Structure 1
Amino acid sequence: MSESETYLSKHIYTLFSFDTEYCADSVEWCPHKPNQNVFVCANYQLQVVQSEGEEKKRRLGRILLFSVKEHDSLILHQTIDTAGVLDQKWCHSIVNGYSLLGVVNSINMVEVYKLKSDKIEIELVTSIKNVCDCDDALILSLDWSTGVHGSQEPEIICSDSKGGIHLMKLVNNSLVLLNTWHGHKFEAWISAFYYWDTNIFFSGGDDGIFLKFDKRVGNQIVGKNQSHHAGVTSLHTSCFKENILVSGSYDENIRLWDIRNIKNEVNSSHMPGPVWRVKWNPFYENYLLAVCMMGGVHILDVEYSKIDIIGSYHEHKSISYGADWSYLDSECGEKNASKRSGIIATCSFYDHLLCVSKYVTDTRIHSQQSDLTDVQGTI
């Protein structure tokens, strides 16, 4: 180590907070202008009711549509009551002139909404029910195929609570189920495309396994990894670097992979809690957002040789489940012109708390003669 070195550290400050009433499990920012200040928060609430002397469970949900104006206001524009929502994702590219939101829920259904062009409101475009052949299945995750290559007929990959993986395509505003794979013994918590070649996709399950598929070879599994010591909960491929995949697990580890060899990890890092979601920053290739349930939300600087936590957020007192990078830059209101600052949204489950926060970069100088000191940023 040299006599003195410069370190960059992200400090995260809450701008807005909101009580979602129902348990909150997902937040997703719209990627498209002029609506990059718009995001959705998903809710999942298990309700136990007595009916004819028996306990019956109902899984309720809501989709909450918000917009933000930095330092000014958080506005709730729309509340859609629905079944319990397990995951939601905006399509990366505009389709037929609209921003599309994919939603999966607790009644075995995948839905696609569009953001209206005349006001901040979403409306249902299409849905497909009974995706899984089991009536009591929950659809747990989804991903769009459009991370690198846009399409007017994008595909969706989703996974379910019975271990199934399902591939569908949006054609003429209708979802068409293309194929189904049974990959896992228990819940398939996550499914994700390899964005550089969407013939390839991945899934992770509660059996501690993540799998690689290639739709060109039918229903066989083309790769299998058992490195994680508990359920694999999150997978995300990089839109900047080909062949790069990151995984997260209940075993409290994040692992970096080259998809050409998923037997041996490139790097790994032990996190402060079970990892529920990992998301690459949409503009800066090395930043990763990690949601660590009871261990907080963290910004990581990820390289082949190291994985460093450079910012942490602990305002959520319950299980942190959802987090996403905004496509806004906190300084100029447009997409990230600088990696020095930005906006994130996070949410937690039992305390039904949604937070919108700003991260800023502080420069710190390390000297062998003195300890590191925190430099307070300003909002």
Structure 2
Amino acid sequence: MKWCRVPVGGHALLGVADAGGSVELLRLVQSEQNSYTLEPFSRFALEKRGLALSLDWSTGKAGRASDQPLKLISSDSNGQLSLLKVSEAGPGLQAVATWQAHHFEAWIAAFNYWQTEVVYSGGDDGLLKGWDTRTPPTSVFTSRRHSMGVCSIQSSPHQENVLATGSYDEHVLLWDTRNMKQPLADTPMQGGVWRLKWHPFHHHLLLAACMHGGFKILNCQRAVEEKQEACTVALSHILPNALVYGVDWSWLYFHRLPQAQPLFPLGSFPCSDPGAKTADVAYNLKVKGQSPASSSNPLVDDGEGGTKIQGGGRLKAPCGSQLHASRLQICDCDLYLEAANFDINLLATCSFYDHVLHLWKWDSS
């Protein structure tokens, strides 16, 4: 599932690649005051019977030109890629092209956010491929640098020509897309890398879901700017008896309220944007049930109910059901941007076996 970064017809759109072999768009609509629901907008069935395995929007980089078409790329279990366009006024999803990309499952497909005619794909055949969607089905390049199935790809929305890929071979590779013969950096992850997500504000931070290796945050600044051979692991955390398959950053940011300003209760709307909810956020949110296990990096009790990663940063236990008052709030509008605290980050993980979605707060200071 992925949200489109730009509104379509005045609504937010959620794209879903499902096990029935379809790509579906859901539209977020207000059903009543302070309440929203997702309603079906459009559905496209892929050509062959199989599973839709991934999708990506062409709008991963902030904004889009008025004449730029809104596109989706999807991959499936038959090894095919499907390029779709979204008609904002017409029937919704329409097919542009479908082609055979891999011999086995095409685990992942992703746009180059800076050149949206270019897409990348990774398959269970261990191949990373690049495509010019104006001239499929001939690939622009084929890389065998990963030794096992390629299952995660994301173009940087902040830095042109920077691409991250991950594989069952337990490595994250950082690429300069102008030279796909050799990666800029190769970072071992101690787990198959199923998902990669660049931070929405910190251009150099990359979040990785590493299956039995838990999740990790990489600092890629030196790898990009100084040609360091591997990215720095800023945080590593293993969940017990679980495989971490999904990760994502929150696009909300924290800000400190002036002492004279009252705290708003959960669900209030102090921002000018009515869709920008705020909530009281605690420093000491507790998780019900089993506490987080130790990771491959030593974790020590910080005395405040969280865990500290040696080498920098602090990871709080997953947020439970209780919210305690603090002088911090979350906002997704620009009203308090000057007071934003970008050292505090929210991230989410989901895992197999334990079927748990965790919400974490990371203090990178």
TM-score under structure 2 length normalisation: 0.72
Question: Over residues 136-167 of structure 1, what are the superposed CA-to-partner deviations in whole Å (9 max), with x where a residue is unaligned?
Answer: x1010000001124367510000000110110
Maintained 8 Å contact 2:99/2:136: no
Amino acid at match of 1:115: L
Distance in 1, Cα, partners of 2:185 & 2:17: 32
Q: CA deviation at 1:261?
A: 1.2
Give the letter aligned to residue 230 of structure 1.
Answer: M
| Alignment check: 8 A CA contact 2:175 2:183 kept | yes
What's the offset of the Cα at 1:312?
2.3
Contact 1:316/1:347 (8 A) holds in 2: no
Shift of 1:174: 1.4
Structure 1's consecutive aligned runs of 4 or more residues displaced over 4 angstroms after TM superposition are none
- Indicate which of 235, 248, 255 corresponds to 2:166: 248
- Say yes or no: does 1:341 pair with 2:344: yes
Write out aligned runs for 1:288-367 (5 A): 288-303=206-221, 304=224, 305=228, 306-315=230-239, 317-330=241-254, 331-335=328-332, 337-362=340-365
**Counterpart AA for 2:354:** D
Which residue of 188, 206, 213 corresponds with 2:124? Answer: 206
Higher relative contact order (CA 8 A, sep 6+): 1
Q: Equivalent residues in 2 for 1:1-379 (5 A)? A: 88-118=1-31, 119-129=35-45, 131-133=46-48, 135=49, 137-148=50-61, 149-150=63-64, 153-171=69-87, 172-303=90-221, 304=224, 305=228, 306-315=230-239, 317-330=241-254, 331-335=328-332, 337-362=340-365
Change (3 A) 1:114 1:233: same
Aligned length: 272
1:338 to partner: Cα distance? 3.8
2:134 is paired with a residue whose SS is helix
Amino acid at match of 1:123: E
Cα deviation 1:169-224 (Å, max 9, x = unaligned) = 01125110110121111100000000011000000001110100012223211111
Unaligned 5+ residue runs, structure 2? 255-327
Q: Deviations over 1:252-277 (max 9, x none)?
A: 00000011111110111000211111
SS at match of 2:125: coil
One-letter amino acid matched to 1:284: H
After TM superposition, give the deviation of residue 92 of structure 1 in Å: 1.2
The structure with more strand, counted as a fraction of residues: 1
- Residues of 2 paired with 1:316 and 1:340: CA distance? 27
Q: Distance in 2 between matches of 1:301 and 1:219?
A: 35
**What amino acid is aligned across from residue 80 of structure 2 in structure 1?**
G
* SS of equivalent residue, structure 2 residue 202: coil
C-alpha displacement at 1:116, in angstroms?
A: 1.0
Contact 1:316/1:348 (CA < 8 Å) preserved in 2? Answer: no
Give the share of equivalent positions with the same residue, in percent. Answer: 39
| Cα distance per residue 1:273-327 (max 9 Å; x no partner) | 1111111011110010000000001111112224111112323531111110001
Does the residue aligned with 2:30 lie in a helix, a strand or coil?
coil
Aligned partner letter, 2:176 = D
* Consecutive unaligned residues in structure 1, runs of 5 or more: 1-87, 363-379
- The amino acid that maps onto 2:361 is K
8 A contact 2:73–2:83 mirrored in 1: yes
1:372 alignment partner in structure 2: none
Give the structure 2 partner of residue 6 of structure 1: none
Aligned-residue offset at 1:348: 0.5
The answer to whether the 8 Å contact 1:244/1:256 transfers is: yes
Distance (Å, rounded) in 2 between the aligned partners of 1:204 and 1:339: 33
